[in-house]
């Protein structure tokens, strides 16, 4: 520990991977040696970290030898392929993909909410889906006020949730439309500029897309409420970075007062209330981008249901929805010396 940890980032060249490097610098993460891993496409690329050039290497089993903590953000199939090598080499894997999230042997963790799910022998800790983390940050603190019975959620998800390629695609499509040229989507199934569409993942036989299924299943696991009723609609909107969510929380009795809700949020780590009715100023992606905190506002009673409370939430899903949450998990592990 005195010389720092050996840390690997698989997916270091991606949208989430780049955020890891920023966070390591900002939070003074105790790194002795950093290994940047990706595919053959970007092997050899140089990335500056703490003023020094680091060469990106193609991932291989040898790259995990001697690694203390491996952050994975290169997709679920890569996590399934490489996690066994990393853990066999003695590394703790903090995985951003969906590969292990619903595995009953793997904790799915938002440190502010369910750190107790982690045990000292865990070799893999899963980072939840970005929309699920942002939702949970707003919903979990409310459990102190009353029992939650049901959630109704609509998401407004940005391009960055689809990775660096989708962000560039949104910029390109927007430029093409503004220039009056035909626009050709490369990563999106439909025109993205000046448009929105149902989340670009496969639909199951019940009509839910994969993102919606993840939000439902993962929220239940994080809260430890396997029967919680949740209805989610996930939509991709032409915003570059940071997701928003419209949330109705239904309690088992009359919804808590707005004052009580504000009071609870004022003590919730990682949550900031932005709820300025006089100036019509509420959570926006332009304000949550680059922020660690999840912004919560439009706090009001549901006029259609005395047990309902409405919220509007915005969070940077590359940060709290991905890299920041994973780094916080690792920091907790270092603090309590779990597996490292």
Ligand X SMILES: NC(=O)c1ccc[n+]([C@@H]2O[C@H](COP(=O)([O-])OP(=O)(O)OC[C@H]3O[C@@H](n4cnc5c(N)ncnc54)[C@H](OP(=O)(O)O)[C@@H]3O)[C@@H](O)[C@H]2O)c1
Contact predicate 275/299, CB 8 Å: yes
Give the shortest CB-145-to-ligand X separation in angstroms: 29
Give the shortest CB-194-to-ligand X separation in angstroms: 22
Q: Which of 54, 199, 234, 243 is catalytic?
A: 243
Alpha-carbon gap, residue 312 to 300, rounded angstroms? 10
Residue nearest to ligand X as judged by C-beta position: 14
Q: Kindly tell me which of 109 and 261 has the beta carbon lying closer to ligand X.
A: 109
Q: Kindly tell me which of 129 and 183 has the beta carbon lying closer to ligand X.
A: 129
Give the shortest CB-213-to-ligand X separation in angstroms: 14
Q: Respond yes or no: is residue 130 known to be catalytic.
A: yes
In the sheet that holds 197-198, the strands lie side by side as: 197-198, 229-236, 148-157, 243-251, 308-315, 294-301, 271-273
Is the four-CA dihedral 118, 120, 121, 122 of positive or negative sign? positive
- Which residues bind to ligand X, rule: CB under 6 A? 11-17, 38-39, 41-42, 59, 73-76, 78, 96-97, 130, 160-161, 163-165, 317-318, 321-322
Q: Which of 130, 234, 244, 310 is catalytic?
A: 130
Give the shortest CB-264-to-ligand X separation in angstroms: 26
Alpha-carbon gap, residue 181 to 199, rounded angstroms? 25
Strand, helix or coil for residue 48: strand
Q: Respond yes or no: is residue 244 known to be catalytic.
A: no
Q: Kindly tell me which of 59 and 135 has the beta carbon lying closer to ligand X.
A: 59
Strand, helix or coil for residue 60: coil
Neighbours of 337 (CB within 10 A): 9
Q: Kindly tell me which of 15 and 21 has the beta carbon lying closer to ligand X.
A: 15
Q: Report the catalytic residues.
A: 130, 243
């Amino acid at each position: 520990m005195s010389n720092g940890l050996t840390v690997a980032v698989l997916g270091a060249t991606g949208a989430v991977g780049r955020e890891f490097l920023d966070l390591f610098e900002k939070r003074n993460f105790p790194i002795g040696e950093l290994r940047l891993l990706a595919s053959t496409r970007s092997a050899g690329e140089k990335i500056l970290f703490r003023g020094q050039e680091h060469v990106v290497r193609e991932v291989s089993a040898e790259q995990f030898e001697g690694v203390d903590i491996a952050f994975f953000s290169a997709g679920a199939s890569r996590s399934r392929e490489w996690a066994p090598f990393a853990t066999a080499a003695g590394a703790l894997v903090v995985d951003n993909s969906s590969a292990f999230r619903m595995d009953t042997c793997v904790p799915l963790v938002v440190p502010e909410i369910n750190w107790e799910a982690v045990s000292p022998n865990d070799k893999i800790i899963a980072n939840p889906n970005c929309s699920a983390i942002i939702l949970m940050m707003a919903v979990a603190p409310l459990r102190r006020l009353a029992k939650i019975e049901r959630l109704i959620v609509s998401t407004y998800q940005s391009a960055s949730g689809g990775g660096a390629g989708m962000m560039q695609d949104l910029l390109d499509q927007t430029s093409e439309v503004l220039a009056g040229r035909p626009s050709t989507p490369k990563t999106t199934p439909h025109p993205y500029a000046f448009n929105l569409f149902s989340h670009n993942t496969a639909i199951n036989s019940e009509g839910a897309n994969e993102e919606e299924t993840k939000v439902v299943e993962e929220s239940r696991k994080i809260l430890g409420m396997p029967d919680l009723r949740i209805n989610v609609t996930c939509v991709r909107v032409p915003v570059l970075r940071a997701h928003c969510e419209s949330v109705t929380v239904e309690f088992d009795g009359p919804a808590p007062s707005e004052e009580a809700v504000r009071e609870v949020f004022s003590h919730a780590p990682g949550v900031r209330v932005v709820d300025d009715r006089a100036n019509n100023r509420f959570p926006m992606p332009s304000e949550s981008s680059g922020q660690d905190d999840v912004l919560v506002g439009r706090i009001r009673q549901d006029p259609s249901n005395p047990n309902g409370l409405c919220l509007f939430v915005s969070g940077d899903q590359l940060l709290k929805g991905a890299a920041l949450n994973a780094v916080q998990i690792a920091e907790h592990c270092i603090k309590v010396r779990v597996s490292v």
